[in-house]
Amino acid sequence: MNLLSRIKRFLPTPTDVHEYRYIHIFGDTLKQAELWAFNRVSVSKGIAVGIFCAFLPMPFEMVAAIFIAAMIGAHIPFAIAGIWISNPLTWIPLYTPCYLLGAWLIGVEPVPLEDISISVLGWHYVALWLGCLILGSLISISSHFIVNALWKANILRRWQRRRSLRSSNSQEN
């Protein structure tokens, strides 16, 4: 059993979603089949949305990810899973390059970690957000293309394996 089949076993199907009690509070928006369908297009969009939202320095990134995923037809479970790269253990390695990029772009001298306070955060918060939006966009777009390429490569590999099995079976007969 390949990795995609294993993952697919744990994901809800579009018909399962209609049975969830608490999803009714969102109306029919989250009941769209494309938001839960396991295909190359929706999964790659979902991962890209999740990674983009992971770079947003704000609480409740999942709400933003679900909203964006519903707007563009991305796979919601993968959008939520993409957010999990952002957690308290990864904040420093995730947000430091973003902050440094944003500070460089707007011409603000980066503040040493020990000097950060609420009164200092004015332009530095803008620098963090600017860097996060830029790097988050670049990495999420890259992840979209990488997932697409890996999915296509997996399909081609399976086709070639089937083709070689057919040719070996025809040669035996």
- The string of pLDDT tens digits covering residues 94-153 is 888 998 999 999 998 888 877 766 677 677 888 889 999 999 999 999 999 999 999 999
Burial 113-128 (b: 16+ CB within 10 A, else e): eeeeeeeeeeebeebb
User: Cα–Cα distance between 2 and 13 in angstroms, integer?
Assistant: 19
| One-letter amino acid for residue 103 of the chain | A
Over residues 78-102, the mean pLDDT reads: 88
Q: CA–CA distance from 28 to each of 25, 75, 88 (Å)? A: 9, 16, 34
Q: What percent of the chain has pLDDT over 90?
A: 36
Q: Which tokens in the block code for residue 62?
A: 């999942």
Q: What's the structural domain count of the chain?
A: 1
Domain range for 66 is 7-88+139-162
For residue 1, pLDDT over 60 is answered with no
Transcribe 39-66 into DSSP letters. Answer: SHHHHHHHHHHHHHHHTS-SS-HHHHHH
Q: What is the per-residue pLDDT for 85?
A: 87
- Does residue 24 lie in a domain region? yes
- Does residue 47 lie in a domain region? yes
Q: Where are the alpha helices (DSSP H) in the chain?
A: 3-10, 14-19, 40-54, 61-72, 76-83, 91-106, 121-172
Decide: 98 and 125 in contact? Cβ < 8 Å: no
- Does residue 106 lie in a domain region? no
pLDDT category of residue 37 using cuts at 50, 70 and 90: confident
- Does residue 129 lie in a domain region? no
For residue 3, pLDDT over 70 is answered with no
- Does residue 128 lie in a domain region? no
- Does residue 157 lie in a domain region? yes
- Does residue 13 lie in a domain region? yes
- Does residue 1 lie in a domain region? no
